[in-house]
A and B are shown apart, each in its own frame.
Chain A
Protein backbone atom coordinates (compact mmCIF):
# COMPACT_ATOMS: atom_id res chain seq x y z
CA UNK A 1 0.00 0.00 0.00
CA UNK A 2 1.16 3.55 -0.61
CA UNK A 3 2.95 5.47 2.10
CA UNK A 4 0.41 8.27 2.44
CA UNK A 5 -2.48 5.96 3.24
CA UNK A 6 -0.31 3.74 5.40
CA UNK A 7 0.81 6.68 7.53
CA UNK A 8 -2.73 8.00 7.80
CA UNK A 9 -4.05 4.62 9.00
CA UNK A 10 -1.22 4.09 11.46
CA UNK A 11 -1.84 7.53 12.92
CA UNK A 12 -5.58 7.12 13.29
CA UNK A 13 -5.33 3.64 14.79
CA UNK A 14 -2.70 4.70 17.29
CA UNK A 15 -5.18 7.40 18.32
CA UNK A 16 -7.65 4.53 18.90
CA UNK A 17 -9.83 5.48 15.94
CA UNK A 18 -10.62 3.98 12.56
CA UNK A 19 -10.92 5.61 9.15
CA UNK A 20 -14.65 4.98 9.04
CA UNK A 21 -15.31 6.29 12.57
CA UNK A 22 -15.55 2.87 14.24
CA UNK A 23 -13.96 1.98 17.54
CA UNK A 24 -11.09 -0.49 17.54
CA UNK A 25 -13.37 -3.30 18.70
CA UNK A 26 -16.38 -2.56 16.54
CA UNK A 27 -17.64 -4.62 13.66
CA UNK A 28 -18.78 -2.99 10.45
CA UNK A 29 -22.43 -3.05 9.44
CA UNK A 30 -23.24 -6.75 9.27
CA UNK A 31 -25.85 -8.61 7.25
CA UNK A 32 -26.67 -12.31 7.27
CA UNK A 33 -29.20 -13.92 4.97
CA UNK A 34 -29.80 -17.65 4.80
CA UNK A 35 -31.42 -19.74 2.07
CA UNK A 36 -29.93 -17.67 -0.75
CA UNK A 37 -28.88 -20.56 -3.01
CA UNK A 38 -31.83 -22.57 -4.25
CA UNK A 39 -30.11 -25.86 -5.02
CA UNK A 40 -27.88 -25.96 -1.94
CA UNK A 41 -29.02 -27.93 1.08
CA UNK A 42 -28.12 -24.89 3.14
CA UNK A 43 -26.64 -21.51 2.32
CA UNK A 44 -25.87 -18.12 3.78
CA UNK A 45 -24.65 -14.77 2.52
CA UNK A 46 -22.68 -12.67 5.00
CA UNK A 47 -21.65 -9.04 4.57
CA UNK A 48 -19.23 -7.20 6.85
CA UNK A 49 -19.24 -3.71 5.34
CA UNK A 50 -18.20 -4.28 1.71
CA UNK A 51 -16.82 -7.79 2.30
CA UNK A 52 -19.29 -10.33 0.96
CA UNK A 53 -19.06 -14.12 1.11
CA UNK A 54 -21.50 -16.92 0.32
CA UNK A 55 -21.28 -20.35 1.97
CA UNK A 56 -23.15 -23.27 0.42
CA UNK A 57 -23.75 -26.69 2.00
CA UNK A 58 -24.15 -29.67 -0.30
CA UNK A 59 -24.58 -33.27 0.79
CA UNK A 60 -23.97 -36.63 -0.76
CA UNK A 61 -23.73 -40.26 0.26
CA UNK A 62 -20.27 -41.79 0.31
CA UNK A 63 -17.93 -44.21 2.02
CA UNK A 64 -16.51 -43.32 5.43
CA UNK A 65 -12.80 -43.06 6.18
CA UNK A 66 -11.40 -46.46 7.17
CA UNK A 67 -10.37 -45.33 10.66
CA UNK A 68 -13.79 -43.85 11.44
CA UNK A 69 -16.28 -46.31 9.94
CA UNK A 70 -19.38 -44.91 11.64
CA UNK A 71 -18.71 -41.20 11.25
CA UNK A 72 -20.02 -38.92 8.54
CA UNK A 73 -17.52 -36.81 6.62
CA UNK A 74 -17.23 -33.02 6.45
CA UNK A 75 -15.10 -31.07 3.99
CA UNK A 76 -14.60 -27.32 3.75
CA UNK A 77 -13.38 -25.72 0.55
CA UNK A 78 -13.06 -22.05 -0.43
CA UNK A 79 -12.86 -20.27 -3.74
CA UNK A 80 -11.02 -16.96 -3.91
CA UNK A 81 -12.51 -16.01 -7.25
CA UNK A 82 -10.62 -13.27 -9.07
CA UNK A 83 -13.93 -11.45 -9.41
CA UNK A 84 -13.69 -10.54 -5.72
CA UNK A 85 -10.37 -8.72 -5.83
CA UNK A 86 -7.63 -7.72 -8.25
CA UNK A 87 -5.27 -9.59 -5.89
CA UNK A 88 -6.84 -12.98 -6.61
CA UNK A 89 -5.71 -15.13 -9.53
CA UNK A 90 -7.40 -17.94 -11.39
CA UNK A 91 -6.25 -21.45 -10.73
CA UNK A 92 -6.21 -23.93 -7.86
CA UNK A 93 -6.44 -22.64 -4.28
CA UNK A 94 -3.39 -20.77 -3.02
CA UNK A 95 -2.18 -20.42 0.56
CA UNK A 96 -4.74 -17.84 1.78
CA UNK A 97 -7.62 -19.91 0.40
CA UNK A 98 -6.31 -23.15 1.86
CA UNK A 99 -5.63 -21.55 5.24
CA UNK A 100 -9.13 -20.06 5.35
CA UNK A 101 -10.73 -23.42 4.53
CA UNK A 102 -8.73 -25.24 7.16
CA UNK A 103 -9.28 -22.63 9.88
CA UNK A 104 -13.04 -22.61 9.28
CA UNK A 105 -13.02 -26.42 9.23
CA UNK A 106 -11.13 -26.59 12.52
CA UNK A 107 -13.63 -24.33 14.26
CA UNK A 108 -16.53 -26.58 13.23
CA UNK A 109 -14.73 -29.85 13.78
CA UNK A 110 -13.11 -29.21 17.14
CA UNK A 111 -16.29 -27.78 18.63
CA UNK A 112 -18.01 -31.01 17.56
CA UNK A 113 -20.72 -28.91 15.98
CA UNK A 114 -21.80 -31.75 13.70
CA UNK A 115 -22.65 -35.05 15.40
CA UNK A 116 -20.95 -37.16 12.79
CA UNK A 117 -22.16 -40.44 14.33
CA UNK A 118 -25.71 -39.41 13.46
CA UNK A 119 -24.62 -39.09 9.82
CA UNK A 120 -23.88 -42.81 9.59
CA UNK A 121 -26.22 -44.76 7.30
CA UNK A 122 -24.51 -48.17 7.31
CA UNK A 123 -21.37 -48.62 9.37
CA UNK A 124 -18.23 -49.05 7.30
CA UNK A 125 -20.16 -48.67 4.04
CA UNK A 126 -22.35 -45.63 3.72
CA UNK A 127 -22.29 -42.28 5.45
CA UNK A 128 -23.51 -38.76 4.73
CA UNK A 129 -20.90 -36.38 3.43
CA UNK A 130 -21.28 -32.68 4.17
CA UNK A 131 -19.50 -30.33 1.77
CA UNK A 132 -19.14 -26.67 2.66
CA UNK A 133 -18.04 -24.43 -0.20
CA UNK A 134 -17.19 -20.81 0.52
CA UNK A 135 -17.28 -18.31 -2.31
CA UNK A 136 -15.74 -14.87 -1.86
CA UNK A 137 -17.85 -12.32 -3.71
CA UNK A 138 -16.05 -9.08 -2.67
CA UNK A 139 -12.88 -8.83 -0.58
CA UNK A 140 -12.68 -5.88 1.77
CA UNK A 141 -10.90 -7.61 4.63
CA UNK A 142 -11.71 -10.10 7.39
CA UNK A 143 -12.56 -12.99 5.10
CA UNK A 144 -11.95 -15.67 7.73
CA UNK A 145 -14.52 -14.33 10.21
CA UNK A 146 -17.10 -13.68 7.48
CA UNK A 147 -16.58 -17.14 5.97
CA UNK A 148 -16.80 -18.87 9.34
CA UNK A 149 -20.02 -17.03 10.21
CA UNK A 150 -21.55 -17.84 6.82
CA UNK A 151 -20.60 -21.50 7.26
CA UNK A 152 -22.26 -21.79 10.65
CA UNK A 153 -25.37 -19.95 9.46
CA UNK A 154 -25.56 -22.18 6.37
CA UNK A 155 -25.19 -25.38 8.44
CA UNK A 156 -27.85 -24.32 10.92
CA UNK A 157 -30.37 -23.49 8.21
CA UNK A 158 -29.61 -26.58 6.11
CA UNK A 159 -32.08 -29.38 5.41
CA UNK A 160 -30.79 -32.86 4.65
CA UNK A 161 -31.98 -34.77 1.58
CA UNK A 162 -33.70 -38.05 2.44
CA UNK A 163 -31.81 -41.25 1.92
CA UNK A 164 -33.37 -43.44 -0.75
CA UNK A 165 -32.56 -47.00 0.35
CA UNK A 166 -33.47 -48.44 -3.07
CA UNK A 167 -31.10 -46.36 -5.16
CA UNK A 168 -28.69 -45.92 -2.22
CA UNK A 169 -28.53 -42.24 -3.17
CA UNK A 170 -29.78 -38.97 -1.71
CA UNK A 171 -33.20 -37.78 -2.81
CA UNK A 172 -32.71 -34.09 -3.48
CA UNK A 173 -36.40 -33.55 -4.10
CA UNK A 174 -37.16 -34.24 -0.45
CA UNK A 175 -35.21 -32.17 2.01
CA UNK A 176 -36.64 -32.53 5.46
CA UNK A 177 -34.52 -33.05 8.57
CA UNK A 178 -32.04 -30.55 9.88
CA UNK A 179 -28.40 -31.51 10.29
CA UNK A 180 -27.48 -32.99 13.71
CA UNK A 181 -25.88 -29.85 15.15
CA UNK A 182 -25.04 -29.07 18.74
CA UNK A 183 -23.33 -25.74 18.81
CA UNK A 184 -22.59 -22.44 17.07
CA UNK A 185 -18.84 -21.95 16.94
CA UNK A 186 -17.87 -18.37 16.21
CA UNK A 187 -14.54 -17.23 14.83
CA UNK A 188 -13.11 -13.82 15.66
CA UNK A 189 -9.76 -12.64 14.33
CA UNK A 190 -7.83 -9.97 16.18
CA UNK A 191 -5.23 -7.88 14.32
CA UNK A 192 -2.24 -6.13 15.84
CA UNK A 193 -1.31 -2.74 14.40
CA UNK A 194 1.36 -0.88 16.37
CA UNK A 195 0.32 -1.14 19.99
CA UNK A 196 -3.38 -1.58 19.25
CA UNK A 197 -5.65 -4.49 18.52
CA UNK A 198 -8.50 -4.16 16.08
CA UNK A 199 -11.15 -6.51 14.85
CA UNK A 200 -12.94 -6.69 11.50
CA UNK A 201 -10.32 -4.80 9.49
CA UNK A 202 -11.00 -3.44 6.03
CA UNK A 203 -8.68 -4.56 3.24
CA UNK A 204 -6.58 -1.44 3.75
CA UNK A 205 -6.27 -2.03 7.49
CA UNK A 206 -5.40 -5.67 6.88
CA UNK A 207 -2.49 -4.68 4.67
CA UNK A 208 -0.81 -2.84 7.57
CA UNK A 209 -1.50 -5.61 10.08
CA UNK A 210 1.63 -6.94 11.75
CA UNK A 211 0.11 -10.14 13.08
CA UNK A 212 -3.34 -11.66 13.40
CA UNK A 213 -4.80 -14.07 15.87
CA UNK A 214 -7.88 -16.10 15.00
CA UNK A 215 -9.83 -17.78 17.80
CA UNK A 216 -12.90 -19.97 17.47
CA UNK A 217 -15.11 -20.25 20.55
CA UNK A 218 -18.09 -22.47 21.29
CA UNK A 219 -21.35 -21.66 23.08
CA UNK A 220 -19.72 -22.29 26.48
CA UNK A 221 -17.00 -19.74 25.80
CA UNK A 222 -14.32 -22.41 25.43
CA UNK A 223 -11.63 -22.08 22.83
CA UNK A 224 -11.85 -24.66 20.06
CA UNK A 225 -9.33 -23.51 17.50
CA UNK A 226 -6.53 -21.02 17.28
CA UNK A 227 -4.54 -19.76 14.34
CA UNK A 228 -1.83 -17.13 14.46
CA UNK A 229 -0.95 -15.46 11.18
CA UNK A 230 1.63 -12.89 10.14
CA UNK A 231 5.36 -12.67 10.72
CA UNK A 232 5.45 -10.49 13.83
CA UNK A 233 5.67 -12.26 17.16
CA UNK A 234 3.27 -11.69 20.06
CA UNK A 235 3.79 -11.71 23.82
CA UNK A 236 1.62 -13.96 25.99
CA UNK A 237 -0.12 -10.86 27.37
CA UNK A 238 -1.08 -9.87 23.87
CA UNK A 239 -2.31 -13.37 23.12
CA UNK A 240 -4.44 -13.51 26.27
CA UNK A 241 -5.91 -10.15 25.33
CA UNK A 242 -6.86 -11.68 22.00
CA UNK A 243 -8.54 -14.62 23.78
CA UNK A 244 -10.69 -12.28 25.86
CA UNK A 245 -11.64 -10.11 22.91
CA UNK A 246 -12.61 -13.15 20.83
CA UNK A 247 -14.82 -14.64 23.53
CA UNK A 248 -16.52 -11.30 24.14
CA UNK A 249 -17.14 -10.52 20.48
CA UNK A 250 -18.01 -14.13 19.72
CA UNK A 251 -21.03 -13.85 22.01
CA UNK A 252 -22.34 -10.89 20.00
CA UNK A 253 -21.95 -12.67 16.69
CA UNK A 254 -23.52 -15.88 17.98
CA UNK A 255 -26.79 -14.07 18.64
CA UNK A 256 -27.14 -13.44 14.91
CA UNK A 257 -27.39 -17.12 14.03
CA UNK A 258 -30.92 -18.43 14.06
CA UNK A 259 -31.90 -22.05 14.66
Chain B
Protein backbone atom coordinates (compact mmCIF):
# COMPACT_ATOMS: atom_id res chain seq x y z
CA UNK B 1 0.00 0.00 0.00
CA UNK B 2 1.11 3.52 -0.57
CA UNK B 3 1.93 5.65 2.49
CA UNK B 4 -1.24 6.61 4.31
CA UNK B 5 -1.77 10.08 5.77
CA UNK B 6 -4.77 10.82 7.97
CA UNK B 7 -5.96 14.01 9.67
CA UNK B 8 -9.20 14.08 11.61
CA UNK B 9 -11.22 17.20 12.40
CA UNK B 10 -9.97 19.48 9.63
CA UNK B 11 -13.21 21.34 8.84
CA UNK B 12 -14.37 23.35 11.88
CA UNK B 13 -17.88 24.01 10.51
CA UNK B 14 -18.66 20.32 10.03
CA UNK B 15 -19.91 18.01 12.79
CA UNK B 16 -17.16 15.59 11.80
CA UNK B 17 -14.42 15.63 9.16
CA UNK B 18 -11.31 13.84 8.01
CA UNK B 19 -8.69 13.80 5.29
CA UNK B 20 -7.35 10.45 4.08
CA UNK B 21 -4.52 9.94 1.55
CA UNK B 22 -3.16 6.88 -0.19
CA UNK B 23 0.09 8.33 -1.56
CA UNK B 24 -0.98 11.05 -3.98
CA UNK B 25 -4.70 10.31 -3.82
CA UNK B 26 -6.38 12.55 -1.26
CA UNK B 27 -10.00 12.59 -0.14
CA UNK B 28 -11.64 15.04 2.27
CA UNK B 29 -14.90 14.02 3.94
CA UNK B 30 -17.26 16.18 5.99
CA UNK B 31 -20.31 14.98 7.92
CA UNK B 32 -23.27 17.09 9.01
CA UNK B 33 -25.98 15.56 11.12
CA UNK B 34 -28.14 13.99 12.15
CA UNK B 35 -30.10 17.10 11.27
CA UNK B 36 -33.61 17.96 10.04
CA UNK B 37 -34.31 16.87 6.48
CA UNK B 38 -36.05 19.09 3.96
CA UNK B 39 -38.09 18.63 1.79
CA UNK B 40 -40.43 16.54 3.87
CA UNK B 41 -41.20 14.06 1.12
CA UNK B 42 -37.64 12.77 1.31
CA UNK B 43 -38.00 11.87 4.99
CA UNK B 44 -38.14 8.19 5.89
CA UNK B 45 -40.52 7.54 8.76
CA UNK B 46 -38.48 4.92 10.61
CA UNK B 47 -34.87 5.88 9.97
CA UNK B 48 -32.47 8.63 8.94
CA UNK B 49 -31.55 9.18 5.31
CA UNK B 50 -27.81 8.70 4.77
CA UNK B 51 -26.87 10.95 1.87
CA UNK B 52 -23.40 10.52 0.42
CA UNK B 53 -22.23 13.01 -2.16
CA UNK B 54 -18.94 12.27 -3.90
CA UNK B 55 -17.26 14.92 -6.06
CA UNK B 56 -13.94 15.34 -7.77
CA UNK B 57 -12.18 18.68 -7.81
CA UNK B 58 -11.40 19.84 -11.37
CA UNK B 59 -7.71 20.15 -10.48
CA UNK B 60 -7.43 16.67 -9.01
CA UNK B 61 -6.58 14.81 -12.21
CA UNK B 62 -3.99 15.06 -14.98
CA UNK B 63 -6.59 16.32 -17.43
CA UNK B 64 -9.02 18.71 -15.82
CA UNK B 65 -12.39 17.25 -14.80
CA UNK B 66 -15.42 19.37 -15.64
CA UNK B 67 -17.22 20.42 -12.47
CA UNK B 68 -20.51 18.71 -11.79
CA UNK B 69 -21.75 15.15 -11.37
CA UNK B 70 -21.12 12.47 -13.94
CA UNK B 71 -22.47 8.96 -14.30
CA UNK B 72 -19.27 7.66 -12.71
CA UNK B 73 -19.53 9.93 -9.65
CA UNK B 74 -23.20 9.10 -9.19
CA UNK B 75 -22.44 5.40 -9.15
CA UNK B 76 -19.69 6.00 -6.62
CA UNK B 77 -22.14 7.97 -4.43
CA UNK B 78 -24.41 4.96 -4.35
CA UNK B 79 -21.83 2.27 -3.64
CA UNK B 80 -20.21 4.48 -1.01
CA UNK B 81 -23.51 4.92 0.79
CA UNK B 82 -24.12 1.19 0.67
CA UNK B 83 -20.62 0.56 2.01
CA UNK B 84 -21.23 2.76 5.06
CA UNK B 85 -24.91 2.29 5.86
CA UNK B 86 -24.67 -1.24 7.30
CA UNK B 87 -22.77 0.09 10.31
CA UNK B 88 -24.49 3.45 10.83
CA UNK B 89 -27.38 3.31 13.32
CA UNK B 90 -29.82 5.15 11.09
CA UNK B 91 -32.85 3.68 12.85
CA UNK B 92 -32.10 5.91 15.86
CA UNK B 93 -32.96 9.10 13.95
CA UNK B 94 -36.23 8.72 12.05
CA UNK B 95 -36.95 11.43 9.47
CA UNK B 96 -33.57 13.08 9.92
CA UNK B 97 -30.66 13.19 7.47
CA UNK B 98 -26.97 12.40 7.88
CA UNK B 99 -25.07 14.16 5.09
CA UNK B 100 -21.67 12.87 4.06
CA UNK B 101 -19.72 14.99 1.57
CA UNK B 102 -16.66 13.45 -0.01
CA UNK B 103 -14.35 15.60 -2.14
CA UNK B 104 -11.38 14.19 -4.01
CA UNK B 105 -8.74 16.88 -4.21
CA UNK B 106 -5.96 14.71 -5.63
CA UNK B 107 -6.67 11.66 -7.78
CA UNK B 108 -4.09 8.96 -8.53
CA UNK B 109 -6.33 5.87 -8.51
CA UNK B 110 -8.12 4.52 -5.47
CA UNK B 111 -10.30 7.59 -5.08
CA UNK B 112 -13.43 5.76 -4.04
CA UNK B 113 -11.51 3.75 -1.45
CA UNK B 114 -9.84 6.88 -0.04
CA UNK B 115 -13.27 8.51 0.03
CA UNK B 116 -14.82 5.68 2.02
CA UNK B 117 -11.96 5.69 4.53
CA UNK B 118 -12.29 9.45 5.00
CA UNK B 119 -16.07 9.19 5.32
CA UNK B 120 -15.87 6.47 7.94
CA UNK B 121 -13.51 8.60 10.04
CA UNK B 122 -15.68 11.69 9.59
CA UNK B 123 -18.79 9.80 10.72
CA UNK B 124 -16.99 8.60 13.86
CA UNK B 125 -15.57 12.09 14.47
CA UNK B 126 -19.12 13.47 14.29
CA UNK B 127 -20.20 11.20 17.13
CA UNK B 128 -22.71 9.37 14.93
CA UNK B 129 -23.71 6.06 16.55
CA UNK B 130 -21.93 3.37 14.54
CA UNK B 131 -21.24 -0.29 15.09
CA UNK B 132 -17.84 -0.35 13.42
CA UNK B 133 -15.39 1.64 11.34
CA UNK B 134 -15.34 0.83 7.63
CA UNK B 135 -12.03 0.39 5.81
CA UNK B 136 -11.55 0.30 2.08
CA UNK B 137 -8.77 -0.53 -0.35
CA UNK B 138 -8.39 -1.88 -3.88
CA UNK B 139 -6.24 -4.82 -4.94
CA UNK B 140 -5.20 -6.40 -8.24
CA UNK B 141 -2.70 -8.67 -9.94
CA UNK B 142 0.17 -7.60 -12.15
CA UNK B 143 1.99 -10.48 -13.79
CA UNK B 144 2.46 -13.08 -11.06
CA UNK B 145 2.18 -10.67 -8.16
CA UNK B 146 -0.89 -9.66 -6.25
CA UNK B 147 -0.80 -5.92 -5.66
CA UNK B 148 -2.46 -3.87 -2.96
CA UNK B 149 -3.67 -0.28 -3.42
CA UNK B 150 -3.06 0.23 -7.12
CA UNK B 151 -1.76 3.59 -8.13
CA UNK B 152 -2.52 5.39 -11.37
CA UNK B 153 0.33 3.85 -13.37
CA UNK B 154 -0.60 0.32 -12.22
CA UNK B 155 -4.25 0.53 -13.23
CA UNK B 156 -3.40 -0.17 -16.88
CA UNK B 157 -1.05 -3.05 -16.10
CA UNK B 158 -3.29 -4.97 -13.71
CA UNK B 159 -5.41 -8.00 -14.55
CA UNK B 160 -8.15 -6.66 -12.37
CA UNK B 161 -9.04 -3.70 -10.18
CA UNK B 162 -10.98 -4.88 -7.16
CA UNK B 163 -11.96 -2.32 -4.51
CA UNK B 164 -13.61 -3.55 -1.31
CA UNK B 165 -14.96 -2.00 1.85
CA UNK B 166 -14.73 -4.08 4.99
CA UNK B 167 -16.13 -4.08 8.52
CA UNK B 168 -13.34 -5.25 10.77
CA UNK B 169 -15.42 -6.33 13.74
CA UNK B 170 -18.09 -8.22 11.87
CA UNK B 171 -15.55 -9.51 9.33
CA UNK B 172 -17.97 -8.66 6.56
CA UNK B 173 -17.62 -7.00 3.20
CA UNK B 174 -19.85 -3.98 2.56
CA UNK B 175 -18.62 -3.03 -0.91
CA UNK B 176 -17.09 -5.01 -3.72
CA UNK B 177 -16.56 -4.11 -7.33
CA UNK B 178 -14.32 -5.58 -9.96
CA UNK B 179 -13.08 -4.64 -13.41
CA UNK B 180 -10.91 -7.15 -15.22
CA UNK B 181 -10.42 -10.65 -16.45
CA UNK B 182 -9.24 -13.10 -13.82
CA UNK B 183 -9.84 -16.68 -12.70
CA UNK B 184 -12.03 -17.42 -9.68
CA UNK B 185 -9.00 -18.64 -7.72
CA UNK B 186 -6.98 -15.54 -8.43
CA UNK B 187 -9.93 -13.33 -7.63
CA UNK B 188 -10.30 -14.97 -4.23
CA UNK B 189 -6.60 -14.36 -3.55
CA UNK B 190 -7.05 -10.72 -4.50
CA UNK B 191 -9.96 -10.37 -2.13
CA UNK B 192 -7.91 -11.88 0.69
CA UNK B 193 -5.12 -9.42 0.04
CA UNK B 194 -7.57 -6.53 0.12
CA UNK B 195 -8.93 -7.74 3.46
CA UNK B 196 -5.41 -7.80 4.89
CA UNK B 197 -4.95 -4.26 3.62
CA UNK B 198 -8.12 -3.22 5.43
CA UNK B 199 -6.76 -4.64 8.67
CA UNK B 200 -3.75 -2.33 8.36
CA UNK B 201 -5.94 0.63 7.52
CA UNK B 202 -8.11 -0.01 10.56
CA UNK B 203 -5.11 0.36 12.85
CA UNK B 204 -4.19 3.67 11.25
CA UNK B 205 -7.77 4.96 11.48
CA UNK B 206 -7.92 4.09 15.14
CA UNK B 207 -4.62 5.80 15.83
CA UNK B 208 -5.69 8.97 14.01
CA UNK B 209 -8.95 9.16 15.96
CA UNK B 210 -7.14 8.68 19.25
CA UNK B 211 -4.63 11.39 18.40
CA UNK B 212 -7.34 13.82 17.51
CA UNK B 213 -9.38 13.32 20.65
CA UNK B 214 -7.09 12.22 23.42
CA UNK B 215 -3.93 14.27 22.92
Contacts and interface: CB of A to CB of B under 8 A. Distances in A.
Q: Are these two chains actual partners, yes or no?
A: yes
Interface stretch (B103-111, B136-144, B154-162): B103-111
A11 B107 CA distance: 47
A238 B44 CA distance: 52
A110 to B, nearest CB: 24
Nearest to A93: B67
Contact of B101 (A50, A58, A81): A81
Interface residues of B, number: 31
B62 A83 contact: no
B12 A43 contact: no
Interface of B: 10-14, 17, 24, 28-30, 32, 35, 53, 55, 57-64, 67-68, 99, 101, 103, 105-108
B53 A82 contact: yes
Nearest to B58: A133
Contact of A60 (B29, B35, B64, B103): B64
Contacts of B108: 38-39
A39 B28 contact: no
Contacts of A133: 57-59, 64, 67
A83 B11 contact: yes
B101 A86 contact: no
A37 B64 contact: no
Interface of A: 37-40, 43, 50, 52, 54, 56-58, 60, 77, 79, 81-86, 90, 92, 131, 133, 135, 137-140, 172
A119 to B, nearest CB: 16
A81 B12 contact: no
A128 B53 CA distance: 33
A106 B20 CA distance: 35
B58 A140 contact: no
Given A57-B59, A77-B58, A138-B13, A38 B24 contact: yes
A137 B28 contact: yes
B53 A56 contact: no
Given A54-B105, A56-B57, A90-B53, A140 B63 contact: no
